[in-house]
């Protein structure tokens, strides 16, 4: 497996990392087998989060014998220094380790949140303290709002990595700008949603495309042995797309571009509390049979859903991609309820 240096962390990461969201659907035994297979295939970067169900627990249990070979990255929605200590303590216990390689401030999506995180008494201050105490080794930030992440990197040199969605559909000027500033500042780049949440056809071409964009590590979610095999083989020998393959991939994604929610979150908050981007994402993923039931369950558990939309239209005025959000929400609602 090819390795790259994760920016100023200096960590040598496999170009294919392990996205730890779907593992929560496996039994402990299945999860341990899958993790052993991933390590055997040369994957050494494992991404999880406090909010991914029991993913941290499974990764901790599954990798405890291989701890020295693995780089553990986790994250939590910590926003204040006060919260950080308990979040890190919990992650250390769940991951069965005495030091976490990378701890990230999870899903910073709005300007006031970023301000809170970076201000005195904010999460970053708490994480710097954790780093001094040896509980974590490096600090990063994650989110979907690439413009905001750009500002975060500009404002703090303590941030050593940035994790954001990037794929052949979500390839706009904000993603490119973020990649560029990260490179300039020596910040490691961790790419989530390399397959746009699994909705892009031609996964192999799609991953080969992202691996040639100068990123450090991509973290597709993996739950099947076949996924480990295919993804790790792409990282063993990097093969840039031929012009013909690129044309084929672009032709496949073109029809999707028009109505694809890029998760930038500019449309939120909705005055009625409708979680717009989350519904868009669930509505896309429900088309994938492996996660269909999970998406439906998650939708059913939402406090507010598309039916709470009063069709005021404010979100559409804020969407930079001019998406017909109201119509899209209705369609996603239909897909998420149908049997
Ligand atoms: S149109 Fe619906 S989803 Fe959009 S802001 Fe108005 S109420 Fe919220
Ligand atoms: S609906 Fe538009 S504004 Fe909202 S998250 Fe998606 S792309 Fe961004």
Dump pLDDT digits (tens) for 193-231.
999 877 788 999 999 999 999 999 999 999 899 999 999
Q: Domain containing 126: what range?
A: 3-244
CA–CA separation, 134 and 247 (whole Å): 48
Residue 307 in contact with ligand 1 by CB distance below 6 A: no
In a domain, 19, yes or no: yes
Report whether 219 contacts 18 (CB < 8 A): yes
Query: What pLDDT was estimated at residue 333?
Result: 97
pLDDT of the residue at 29: 97
CA of 260 to the centre of ligand 2 (A): 8
Ligand 1 lined by 326 (C-beta under 6 Å): yes
141 and 56 inside one domain: yes
Q: What is the pLDDT of residue 257?
A: 81
Looking at residue 287, what is its pLDDT? 85
Kindly report, residue by residue over 46-104, the tens digit of the pLDDT: 999 999 999 999 999 999 999 999 999 999 999 999 999 999 999 999 999 999 999 99
* Count of domains forming the chain: 2
Residues 6+ apart with CB under 8 A from 57: 94
Query: What ranges make up the beta strands (E) of 80-212?
Result: 100-105, 136-142, 161-165, 188-192
29 and 167 in a single domain? The answer is yes
**Are 314 and 271 in contact, with CB atoms under 8 Å apart?**
yes
Under 8 Å between Cβ of 56 and 95: yes
Whether ligand 2 lies within 6 angstroms of the CB of 107 is answered as no
| Residue 291 and residue 204 share a domain | no
Nearest-CA residue for atom 1 of ligand 2: 261
Is the distance from CB of 243 to CB of 209 less than 8 angstroms?
Answer: no
- Is residue 48 situated within a structural domain? yes
What is the average pLDDT score of the chain? 94
> Residue 272: its pLDDT value, please?
97
Find, among 294, 176, 73, 210, the residue nearest to 281 by Cα.
294
**pLDDT value at residue 88:** 98
Whether 253 maps to a domain, the answer reads no
Domain shared by 152 and 224, yes or no: yes
Pairing of strands 188-192, 161-165: parallel
Instruction: Give the C-alpha separation, 179 to 58, whole Å.
Output: 31
pLDDT at position 322: 87
203 and 288 inside one domain: no
What pLDDT shows up at residue 263? 75
Which residues does the chain have with pLDDT short of 50? none
Asked if omega into 61 is within 30° of 0 (cis), the reply is no
**Are 193 and 130 part of one and the same domain?**
yes
Residue 262 lies in a domain: no
- Is 323's C-beta closer than 6 angstroms to any atom of ligand 2? yes
- CA 10/CA 31 separation, integer angstroms: 29
Contact 191, 235 (CB under 8 A): no
Instruction: Count each helix (H run) and each strand (E run) in the chain, helices first.
Output: 14, 10
Counting from 1 in the atom list of ligand 2, the atom nearest the Cα of 319 is: 3
Residues 235 and 299 occupy one common structural domain = no
Interior angle at CA 150, CA 241 and CA 47, nearest 5 = 65
């Amino acid at each position: 497996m090819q390795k790259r240096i994760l920016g100023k962390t200096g960590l040598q990461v496999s170009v294919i990392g392990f996205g730890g969201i779907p593992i929560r659907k496996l039994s402990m035994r299945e999860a341990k087998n899958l993790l052993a297979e991933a390590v055997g295939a040369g994957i050494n970067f494992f991404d999880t989060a406090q909010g991914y169900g029991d993913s941290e627990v499974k990764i901790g249990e599954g990798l405890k014998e291989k701890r020295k070979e693995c780089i553990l990255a986790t994250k939590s929605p910590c926003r204040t220094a006060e919260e950080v200590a308990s979040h890190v303590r919990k992650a250390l216990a769940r991951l069965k380790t005495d030091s976490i390689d990378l701890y990230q401030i999870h899903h910073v999506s709005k300007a006031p949140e970023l301000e809170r995180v970076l201000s005195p008494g904010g999460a970053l201050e708490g994480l710097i303290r954790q780093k001094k105490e040896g509980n974590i080794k490096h600090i990063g930030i994650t989110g979907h709002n690439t413009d905001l992440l750009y500002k975060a990197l500009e404002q703090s040199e303590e941030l050593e990595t940035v994790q954001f969605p990037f794929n052949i559909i979500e390839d706009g000027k904000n993603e490119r700008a973020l990649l560029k500033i990260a490179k300039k500042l020596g910040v490691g780049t961790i790419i989530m949603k390399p397959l746009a949440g699994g909705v892009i056809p031609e996964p192999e071409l799609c991953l080969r495309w992202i691996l040639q964009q100068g990123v450090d590590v991509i973290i597709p979610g993996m739950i099947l042995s076949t996924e480990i095999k295919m993804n790790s083989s792409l990282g063993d020998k990097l093969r840039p797309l031929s012009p013909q393959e690129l044309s084929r991939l672009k032709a496949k994604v073109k029809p999707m571009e028009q109505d694809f929610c890029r998760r930038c979150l500019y449309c939120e908050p909705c005055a009625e509390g409708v979680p717009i981007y989350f519904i868009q994402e669930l509505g896309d993923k429900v088309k994938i049979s492996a996660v269909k039931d999970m998406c439906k369950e998650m939708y059913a558990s939402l406090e507010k859903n598309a039916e709470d939309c009063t069709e005021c239209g404010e979100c559409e005025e804020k969407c930079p991609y001019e998406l017909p959000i109201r119509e899209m929400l209705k369609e996603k609602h239909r897909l998420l309820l149908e049997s």
